[in-house]
Amino acid sequence: MKVTLLILIAFLQVNTHELNKKMTFRKKGAELIQIIKEIKKQTGYSVAWNEKEVNVERKINVNFKNANIKTVLDEISKKLNISYISYKHTFVLVKATSPVPLQKIK
């Protein structure tokens, strides 16, 4: 029981640490695909999406300075009315269907 708890705590600390990877990116009229490429370049995370649900050519203004990946994805989600799911080192962008945030895949 104690060993399981210690493993769980260690796992949660690793996940929290990973989400704290920082990125800096500033651009007016940035296409979502450009932001996705910067996420991969600066954090090592992959981003996937369904082309039928998420238009990666949509443009938004972004200004991130040493922002963690969660902050970046939350802001993008808000501006483009999409959601995301995280799984290991991959984020999946999906069409927002409700105001309730999606849960992490376990």
Sign of CA dihedral 39, 32, 71, 25: positive
State the pTM of this model.
0.73
Nearest to 25 by CA among 12, 47, 40, 4: 40
3-state secondary structure of 50: coil
3-state secondary structure of 86: strand
Per-residue pLDDT of the chain (106 residues; tens, 9 = 90+): 444 433 444 444 445 445 678 999 999 999 999 999 999 999 999 999 989 889 999 999 999 999 999 999 999 999 999 999 988 889 999 988 755 555 656 5
Ordered structural domains, the chain, with CATH:
2-95 (3.55.50.30)
- CB-neighbour burial class of residue 52 (10 A; exposed 0-12, middle 13-18, buried 19+): exposed
